[in-house]
Structure 1
């Protein structure tokens, strides 16, 4: 009976309640957007990176024009041997770009079907990596193997891809032994998959997973170089090691310059840059929610004031202060529920149509919806408490004589 009575009262004041519901709907959409944004960040942060960035240092080789200057095979050997002589260095690898650098090589790959059919192009990112990269980065293979001397003399370039790319290019098949074409990058050079890693998110914890491939780098055998040196160092190596490392590099190649950075510093920089959008959105959302709360509180106050004669009549016929109080709060919760249902009906189109792709999957949507509902109901309760208390304190005589 009480619920039916609330529905009748709400419907009779539908024009007045429409603005209240609209304000609540806007607040719900704002909270949902921030919640979904934050939950997606947390989801990404919780995913495995696919590599071990601890005790890892990166050295960028600055050797002049990358288009014209080539680094001989002998120089790579000299760098590896010279750096391994340092007591802090455990292993050395050469790669296109270090983790957290925010840089990879974008391309489109196309799997071979073996039946003369053209498989669809798949967007992917790739890096050139040598035979020791897997050990330095702590990559875990789920299928096949990493690059090795077994790949020497092969007519096809070798690649290790992540599981996501394997499923995209070779669905329902084992990726190991399959061949794909890297058309835009290497003039339709055929590449053979020798291994699969579970994942590799080179741009850090807050970067979305992508299709990824490592292709084998052999010094002196390509028209490009791998100009990043990855060093696996002893645990606890301090920043003072940078000076000794630079001296050793200068002793090997004095005409080059070197940019030396621990990946822990690169990680901190990447996280700081990637969290800036979330902080900005959160600050704007809090400001807007405060404005909505003030507007909602003012509207409820005015609504209660306009209903003083009605409240006085209810008190005169026997309604207690508690019943009046509960009525005001319940009406506000009913308006909030209507706005939330309408908001969910609109927002559910986002995961259904996948307009935001993996950024808003059903897990993020569900958690963001529950969190937003909790915030809106709490906001509605806080805004209704004082107007409801004020209405419940009115005496029947005062209310019935109010003009």
Structure 2
């Protein structure tokens, strides 16, 4: 029976070629959509690695004319002390512009012996940065006063970067290079998804902020109590504005920044979903049209089969099976191209993302073809042999 169906499909190869091409294009678009969906879902399942509730970001522009390093250190520490003294504030820390959920990114490479790692996110953080965000230190410690006299710049790395640089080996006390300088690792923290729920944590290195310099500053992270309201936000704004050297002050909430960056991240997937929906509708209409055309053109064949004893279910099953075979032929070609993505590591994603996307795409196409062929198949099974043969 299957051999007979292949023969029927081959005899209508020109007509079926267009349908196979349409299913193939649909598979590739659906495959791209599922790559994004699976990738985002896998990232979404991972823990955030920090707490963003009740954390505010104070953006400011500083034009300090102080030249003496000790005086500058006192000046910046006084700002932190004044904010920390407010009753609604739990913790406060300076930070670089690439705070969590911001669009700013600072990237460079890290070298350790013969290991070279690219695309490492560099963060400049204060001594209370980990407490503000409630980050988890898994090895060593966070920055502290003991680093004031350090001759080698102390840094903290995240778990993923630790794995790439050292594997299961020792990380604390090791010196790594980057930007033509040496740094010593004093701690390891859990991965932090700083770019939202749907992006991976990536590789991260944290450097201690130098309060005796104007470099790497412009943001202050403030962890507030649950009862901090608009009135307190106004007082915080006035406190920052009272310093004549600060201007361009803006206060943001990490909860709002999280929503914004999540919406931005989802835009490519939404666009692909819209394109995929139009394509799916076209494929569905094409399948319906082809099957209806087949029924009307093959009434004599269907009537003859019914006349010699074929049941309505067998006629229906034949049309459905033909559609599934066409889908299978298209999927064989589509899978051949799809498996090249993990083999060539096209988007630098885990192989599990591609394989899961292939499986979901195949299931989706089969389900779509099955749904589109069931009703025309049912209509074909209702054709009476006497009427069909009479029309012929």
TM > 0.5: yes
Q: How many residues align?
A: 389
* CA distance in structure 1 between the aligned counterparts of 2:2 and 2:377, rounded to whole angstroms: 17
What 5-or-longer segments of structure 2 have no aligned partner?
none
CA distance 1:346–1:297, change in 2 (3 Å): same
| Alpha-carbon distance, 1:317 to partner | 0.6
* CA distance in structure 2 between the aligned counterparts of 1:273 and 1:88, rounded to whole angstroms: 32
CA distance 1:213–1:235, change in 2 (3 Å): same
CA contact (8 A) 2:240 2:246 kept: no
Matched, 1:158 2:157: no
Tell me the secondary structure at the aligned position of residue 391 of structure 2.
coil
CA contact (8 A) 2:64 2:245 kept: no
Which residue does 1:244 correspond to in 2? 235
| Alpha-carbon distance, 1:69 to partner | 12
Which residue does 1:293 correspond to in 2? 284
Which residue does 2:129 correspond to in 1? 133
Tell me the secondary structure at the aligned position of residue 241 of structure 1.
helix
CA distance 1:19–1:128, change in 2 (3 Å): same
Deviation string 1:281-330 (CA, Å, 9 cap, x unpaired) is 11121112112211221122212222222111111111111211121112
| Alpha-carbon distance, 1:152 to partner | 2.1
Which residue does 2:85 correspond to in 1? 85
Structure 1 range deviating more: 232-241 or 323-332: 232-241
1:88-99 counterparts in 2 under 5 A? 88-97=88-97, 98-99=99-100
Deviation string 1:68-110 (CA, Å, 9 cap, x unpaired) is 9999212212111111221110011111032111213221222
Matched, 1:334 2:325: yes
| Alpha-carbon distance, 1:252 to partner | 4.3
CA contact (8 A) 1:78 1:252 kept: no
* CA distance in structure 1 between the aligned counterparts of 2:279 and 2:31, rounded to whole angstroms: 13
Structure 1 range deviating more: 9-18 or 193-202: 9-18
Structure 1 range deviating more: 137-146 or 7-16: 7-16
CA contact (8 A) 2:107 2:122 kept: yes
* CA distance in structure 1 between the aligned counterparts of 2:10 and 2:216, rounded to whole angstroms: 73
Which residue does 1:262 correspond to in 2? 253
What 5-or-longer segments of structure 1 have no aligned partner?
none
Which residue does 2:5 correspond to in 1? 6
Which of 190, 204, 223 is equivalent to 2:196?
204
| Alpha-carbon distance, 1:13 to partner | 3.4
**TM-score scaled by length of structure 2:** 0.92
1:2-401 counterparts in 2 under 5 A? 2-64=1-63, 72-97=72-97, 98-111=99-112, 113=113, 119-120=115-116, 122-183=118-179, 188-220=180-212, 222=213, 224-253=215-244, 255-358=246-349, 361-401=350-390
* CA distance in structure 1 between the aligned counterparts of 2:101 and 2:44, rounded to whole angstroms: 14
CA contact (8 A) 1:82 1:252 kept: no
| Alpha-carbon distance, 1:11 to partner | 3.7
